[in-house]
């Protein structure tokens, strides 16, 4: 391997690593706030990529039907609850939020052929179609069992993951898609070629990470989420409901997931079930950070990206094995250096 190849692989690694870092941050966030290990994260990556691909191909994205269906299901659950607790005045807003807005999005898609729109608008539309799925999934699957143990939440998380893969096959079909590169610019630095795509992914990830930092450090809602992660009882006593915090963290995680999907879609072909493996690599990064530390999780994820890139050169058949084997020394190191804490029941 000469320097040029090393640099090329390094670029690849950092590009993927930046995306894994985003996913790792989302996993840490969701776990800290809701104690859910967010396995379905990867599905939202795939949904984001596939939705953008269908928009660009001029097709109506299957996400729309999924959104209408899930929205209707949430509306039914909420209306049943409102009837039971005699809060009729909540019904119009429930319908508007869960059925009205998805219908409006559908109307927009029918009215304007999305393939003709500029890329940025397509990306925003794709995010608007995918992101509401997160809080809906939280409402249906996790809110009713918010007080359950981590293990029960994990089992439900796996069930949601399997369900979303099935729905992905149903709504997007078995074919994979790949979107055209956002840019074909490239820069020459000495001997090495720096691809514009790499720069774009890294910059976009960095911008999102900085935006998240500001959200958590500077806004009262961000602080409320951190407070819930730190002290659930204390947060409830301030009127920060676990439901609100849960929905908000799922919304953010889905946004991060779908955005990662948008970023990765020109790099690899994405199928309905490709998200799982991508999400798992973010998970390895999150594990390095002990599912608690944001910076360590992000660094771990970049390391995963680099490891993957270099091992695909030396031992491409074993690249996944090498990446996931990394978890064993990390777990050993963590179990030796951190005090074991029993889960509070």
Partner 1 sequence: MTAMNAMNASNESSAERERGTRPVVLDVRDLSVSYGKVEALHHIDLKIRRGEIVTVIGPNGAGKTTLLAALMGLLPAQGEIVYLGERQGAERQVEQLVRQGMTLVPEKRELFGEMSVEDNLLLGAFDRYRGGHRDELETMDQVFEIFPRLAERREQLAGTLSGGERQMLAMGRALMAKPKLLMLDEPSLGLAPLIIKEIFRIVAELKKTGVAILLVEQNARAALQVADYGYVLETGEVSLEGPSAELASDPRVIESYLGLGGKGGAAAR
* Smallest separation, CB 153 to partner 1 (Å): 21
The piece of 11-19, 53-61, 237-245, 271-279 that touches partner 1 (CB under 8 A) is: 237-245
Would you say 87 or 149 has its CB closer to partner 1? 87
Would you say 90 or 226 has its CB closer to partner 1? 226
Residue in 234, 277, 331, 332 binding partner 1, rule: CB under 8 A: 234
Residue in 76, 128, 156, 236 binding partner 1, rule: CB under 8 A: 236
* Smallest separation, CB 23 to partner 1 (Å): 24
344 binds partner 1 (CB under 8 A): no
**CA–CA dist 18, 202 (Å, integer):** 6
CA angle 163, 167, 169 (to 5 degrees): 120
Q: Taking the CB of residue 1, how many other CB atoms lie within 10 A of it?
A: 10
Burial (CB count within 10 angstroms: exposed 0-12, middle 13-18, buried 19+), residue 333: exposed
CB distance 334 to 291 below 8 Å:
no
List 312's β-bridge partners, or say none. none
Site for partner 1 in 162-221 (CB under 8 A): 220
Nearest Cα to 295, choosing from 31, 19, 21, 13?
21
Q: State the number of binding residues for partner 1 (CB under 8 A).
A: 17
The piece of 20-28, 40-48, 65-73, 223-231 that touches partner 1 (CB under 8 A) is: 223-231
* Smallest separation, CB 69 to partner 1 (Å): 29
Nearest Cα to 146, choosing from 156, 160, 133?
156
Which tokens is 1 given?
């391997």
336 binds partner 1 (CB under 8 A): no
The piece of 36-44, 107-115, 159-167, 239-247 that touches partner 1 (CB under 8 A) is: 239-247
8 binds partner 1 (CB under 8 A): no
CB distance 105 to 128 below 8 Å:
yes
316 binds partner 1 (CB under 8 A): no
* Smallest separation, CB 35 to partner 1 (Å): 17
List 193's β-bridge partners, or say none. 188
DSSP track, 186-237: EEEETTEEEEHHHHHHHHHHHHHHHHHHHHHHHSHHHHHHHHHHH-HHHHHH
223 binds partner 1 (CB under 8 A): yes
DSSP track, 34-93: H----TTHHHHHHHHHHHHHHHHTTPPPTHHHHHHHHHHHHHHHHHHHHHHTT-GGGHHH
The piece of 47-55, 148-156, 226-234, 319-327 that touches partner 1 (CB under 8 A) is: 226-234
Would you say 104 or 230 has its CB closer to partner 1? 230
Site for partner 1 in 241-300 (CB under 8 A): 241
Residue in 127, 129, 227, 291 binding partner 1, rule: CB under 8 A: 227
Helix, strand and coil in the chain, % to nearest 5:
75, 5, 20
Q: x-or-dash pattern for partner 1, window 54-93, by CB under 8 A?
A: -------------------------------x--------
Residue in 129, 240, 270, 330 binding partner 1, rule: CB under 8 A: 240
**CA–CA dist 87, 213 (Å, integer):** 37
Which residues form the interface with partner 1 (CB under 8 A)? 85, 220, 223-224, 226-227, 230-231, 233-241
């Amino acid at each position: 391997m000469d320097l040029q190849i090393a640099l090329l692989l390094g670029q690849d690694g950092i590009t993927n690593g930046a995306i894994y870092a985003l996913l790792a941050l989302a996993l840490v966030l969701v776990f800290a706030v809701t104690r859910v290990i967010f396995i379905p994260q990867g599905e939202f990556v795939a949904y984001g990529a596939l939705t953008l691909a269908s928009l660009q191909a001029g097709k109506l994205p299957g996400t729309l039907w999924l959104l209408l269906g899930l929205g209707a299901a949430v509306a039914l659950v909420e209306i049943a609850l409102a009837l039971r607790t005699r809060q009729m005045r909540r019904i119009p807003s429930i319908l508007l939020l869960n059925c009205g807005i998805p219908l409006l999005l559908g109307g927009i898609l029918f009215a304007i052929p999305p393939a003709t729109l500029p890329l940025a608008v397509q990306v925003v539309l794709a995010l608007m179609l995918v992101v509401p799925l997160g809080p809906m999934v939280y409402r249906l699957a996790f809110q009713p069992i918010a007080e359950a143990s981590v293990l029960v939440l994990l089992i439900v998380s796996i069930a949601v993951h399997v369900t979303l893969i099935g729905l992905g096959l149903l709504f997007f079909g078995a074919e994979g898609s790949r979107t055209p590169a956002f840019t074909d610019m490239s820069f020459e630095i000495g001997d090495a070629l720096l691809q514009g795509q790499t720069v774009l992914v890294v910059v976009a990830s960095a911008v999102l990470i900085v935006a998240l930092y500001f959200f958590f450090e500077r806004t009262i809602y961000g602080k409320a989420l951190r407070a819930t992660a730190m002290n659930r009882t204390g947060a409830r006593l301030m009127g920060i409901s676990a439901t609100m915090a849960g929905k908000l963290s799922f919304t953010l995680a889905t946004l991060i997931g779908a955005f990662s999907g948008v970023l990765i879609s020109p790099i690899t072909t994405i199928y309905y079930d490709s998200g799982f493996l991508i999400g798992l690599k973010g998970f390895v990064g999150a594990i390095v950070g002990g599912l608690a530390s944001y910076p360590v999780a992000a660094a771990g994820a970049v390391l995963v990206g680099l490891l993957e890139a270099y091992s695909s050169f030396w031992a491409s058949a074993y690249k996944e094995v090498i990446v996931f084997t990394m978890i064993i020394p990390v777990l050993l190191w963590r179990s030796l250096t951190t005090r074991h804490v029993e889960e509070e029941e």
